[in-house]
Chains A and B, each alone.
Chain A
Amino acid sequence: MKKQGRGILWLVVAALAGACTPDVGSGQVPTAMEFDLTAAPPRVPQPTALVVNPSTGLIDFSLAGTPLPADCTKQTVMPAAQCQFDQWLQTLNGFPSLTPASAPASAALDPATLALGANVVVFGLHGGAPLTTGLAVGLDPTATTLTVTPPGPWTLGEFYWMGVRGYASGIRDAGGGPVVGSPTMALLKQDASLTCGAPDPTQVDPHCPGYEVIAQGNPSPLAAATQLFQLEAIRQGYLAGHGFDVMAASGLPKDQLAVLWGFPIHTNSVPLLLPGTAAVPHVPAADQVLVGVQGPVDPATVSAFTVRVQNGPVVAMDLTAAAAGDLNAGFPPIAAAYVPSLGAIAIQFAAPFPAGHQLGLFFTNGLHSPDGAPLVASPVSVLLTLTAPLVDAAGHSTVSGLADADAAALEAGRQALQPLLDNPIFTPLTGITRANLVYCYAFVPTVTP
């Protein structure tokens, strides 16, 4: 009897120990379009105007909290190639026109729901209309990043707003669930000032709703207030840029926006180069090459380089001959001119290309547009001229946004060009430096009339 009583006692005590803790319930975490400025690296849609310095008009990564070192070889924060590439980006007043747009999600998305014009809205601010055709909306190989790729380059000088419809009537994740926005987006969508009108971060009311959100878990009230002011500046930028207005006018009201971002395309004309696409040199005849240029070119600035005769910004080399030590054949005589009807710089060789020889084309920023602005390079040209490798020891790309396979292909070209660009007589002879190159490509020409 005593043993039985003791057993009951222990049972009750055990029940007391295990029971009585309330069931707080549970909820499912929805997939989100991410917009996290505090992550390292930031998980934000790209490209983004958030890194365009309003005072200089240039891209400035310090605005994202990742200032670039002056000397990329003496830092370990990022791969040297990334550093050098970003340094080049910081010379631009907008993003390269061949930049695909992307927005990260927290989980895989359903590609069937990414309808352009309905759930994914792209609006050209200067064009004044949404882009409803032509753009390719898709997902990266992991299906966790939404991508928007134009059929050709983005329009120079244009500012694009991109919005993604989420929630009940928008895009869906791979499991069919709704996709929501982010805390950052929720704050940017606020109608009232996030800072409650405080003149500076030291005077933010701790009961200000925006501050209450930012201050959660932030050990420093001043840091929280400073972050709040940064968000308010972004919100003001969204308002001043009419981001919400153009989305609403395009049928995507603010309350259905899971993510909204905008970005400018630089205004400078650019010789286009994107291997694997039409943006490569066109060889209409065995003695002629056309290099497409996006944007106008001042014809007066287009001239050919001739050794010891003319120091023009358009340089053509027979790399095969030069490699064999034949410097005369290495710089074949050419003429260069801008053909407005083709939107291309035509390079006319005095003689047909030697069969099987590799040609090298180099343009400097001596080429200008009619407004006097120098042409700028396309990203591929820049990548080919970096001093740092584009792949690491494991074969992975060292530049964000550059796929491993593309990086490997470009690295081969970079390594082929590096001895030339590092040759001590190359710059004195041609006037070409890595800094003034706006076009750099090597290829074995194949005539395609």
Chain B
Amino acid sequence: MTKTRVSRPGFTGVFATALAALAVLLAARPCLANGFLIYDISGAGMARASAVTADDEEPAAVWYNPANLAYMKGVSASAGGVFLTSKSTFSPSGGGPDTSTIRGNFVLPEFFATGRIGDRVAVGMGAFSTFGIGISWPEDWVGRESAIKASLQTLTLNPTVAVLVHRQVSVAAGFDAVRSVVDFTNGLPAIVGGDVRLAGGTWGYGFNVGALYKICPDRLHVALTYRSRVKLSFDDGHAHFSPANADFAPTLPDQGGTAALTLPDVITVGVMGRPRNDLALSFDANVVLWSTYDRINIHFNSAPDRAIVPNGHDSFTLRGGADWTFPERWPGLHLRGGLIYDHTAMPSGNLGPGLPDADRIDVGLGAGYGRGHFRGDLGYLLVVFLPADATGGIEGPVGTYRTMAHLLGLTLTASWQ
């Protein structure tokens, strides 16, 4: 009772503080999974390649599979962040020097909280960023008309309810309110020179559902989740044109504009098997319907409209992870590892520098330690983008993109039962 009194009044305070921190820390986000999906958002999950849909006992289950919340006891809250550094290099197909992006360093804060209401119902709340683009090319590079800077930030507020419908089966549903901000800078055609910066912010809404079936509790679990598409309509965008050739300035005044894009549906199936008490093996597969991201029409109030045609294709990601524990010698310690194969969502004919997507292979490692009410989880993910050829020449120059990224995730969790 005393614990409850101490913790609950602090809950909203922590939550508000964390949200405020998120608002401050919203910064350009890189793309980490296929397209611009950022799937690996917790220290514990990242280390296991985020193959945790069927086995997640952390508050971040609000994102991975909220049906897990039904099995979590008491009240938990976690705060953390992912530090990411990435760099892309473009090699033009016709020869010539390579061009590299300005190394992007990003911090992605996340916050989750869960709590039980009675024996069968649990609620959760998450504030996290799972879609984002953050890339910055040199001002004068060959592909400047396609992208100089590209930034898409999202912050999802995700209240969730999970219900234990049977001691082996739980289901959950949540509501997604997605705040998104875009900020793009593109070069204007060579004769015009200079650039145009477009920015806008909007809210989009969606939902998510999840289910978990503990076929053999703590030995064999299967899970299924679905997170809906979210349409983001930027109806109050602003464009600032800075043509180098002054003759174009009168016809390119600063003006409003509109654009819309749709974040994709994400479907995940997962399985967890525990062949030994101290080892959990898990496998997840994501299907991401990137066909929603096929064309973006940017309508300016007076300047010529522009269309970006990424022509995204539905894609998939395969994840495998392991979690070792040492209950006898080092209780509370977890060692984790994982492997990801991520299939590109962008066809080579439409590949552009704003989103130089590629097939990727990721390797995850990490550890976690908990004692009493608190635990900390650290994860590292090496993301190796396989060389991706851009062949279309419309959405960007023809050539090959190479990208390497490193992620370091840290999550601190407090729990009271």
Chain B neighbourhood of A1, CB < 8 A: 9
Q: How far is the CB of B112 from chain A (nearest CB, A)?
A: 16
Query: Which chain A positions have C-beta within 8 A of B181?
Result: 20-22
Query: By the criterion CB–CB under 8 Å, are A217 and B306 in contact?
Result: yes
Find out whether the CB atom of A216 lies under 8 angstroms from the CB atom of B199: no
Q: Are B23 and A22 in contact (CB under 8 A)?
A: no
Other-chain residue from B12, B153, B189, B304 in contact with A209 (beta carbon distance below 8 A): B189
The residue among B23, B181, B191 with the most chain A CB atoms within 10 A of its own CB is B191
| Nearest B-chain residue to A192, judged by Cβ | B191
Whether the Cβ atoms of A182 and B250 lie closer than 8 Å is yes
User: Per-residue CB proximity of B277-311 to A under 8 Å, as 1/0?
Assistant: 00000000000000000000000000111100000
- Chain B residues within 8 Å of A206, by CB: 393-394
B197 to chain A, nearest CB (A): 5
Which residues in window 25-49 of A have CB below 8 A to B?
25-27, 29-32
A24 engages B189 (CB within 8 Å):
no
A-side contacts of B268, CB under 8 Å? none
Given contacts A22-B183, A216-B304, A217-B305, contact A12 B16 (CB under 8 A): yes
Find out whether the CB atom of B191 lies under 8 angstroms from the CB atom of A212. Answer: yes
A218 in contact (CB, < 8 A) = yes
A interface size (C-beta, 8 A) = 46
Q: Are A5's CB and B16's CB within 8 A? A: yes
The A interface is mostly helix, strand or loop, or mixed, namely mixed
A258 and B245 CA atoms in complex are apart in Å by: 12
How long is the Cα–Cα vector from A292 to B356 in the complex, in angstroms?
A: 75
Contact A190 B191, beta carbon cutoff 8 Å: yes
Chain B neighbourhood of A12, CB < 8 A: 16, 19-20, 23
B87 to A: closest C-beta gap in Å: 23
Are B16 and A181 within 8 A (Cβ)?
no
B324 within 8 A of A: no
- List the B side residues contacting A375 at CB < 8 Å: none
Interface residues of A in 212-271 (CB under 8 A from B): 212-213, 216-218, 258
Q: Is B110 an interface residue, CB under 8 A from the partner? A: no
Q: Is the CB of A32 within 8 A of B247?
A: yes
**Is B165 engaged at the interface, CB distance under 8 Å to the other chain?**
no
Which single member of B19, B203, B239, B250 contacts A180 (CB below 8 Å)?
A: B250
Query: A308 an interface residue at 8 Å Cβ cutoff?
Result: no
When each residue 1-22 of chain A gets 1 if its CB lies under 8 Å from chain B and 0 otherwise, what string results?
1100110110111011101111
User: Which residues of B are found within 8 Å of A106, using beta-carbon distances?
Assistant: 250
Further pairs besides A5-B13, A12-B16, A12-B19: 14, Cβ < 8 Å: A12-B23, A13-B157, A16-B19, A16-B23, A19-B23, A22-B181, A24-B198, A27-B241, A27-B253, A29-B254, A182-B250, A183-B192, A183-B247, A206-B393
Interchain residue pairs A-B with the least CB separation, the first 4:
A217-B304, A5-B12, A21-B201, A186-B247
Binding site for B on A (CB under 8 A): 1-2, 5-6, 8-9, 11-13, 15-17, 19-27, 29-32, 106, 167, 178, 180-183, 185-187, 190, 206-207, 209-210, 212-213, 216-218, 258
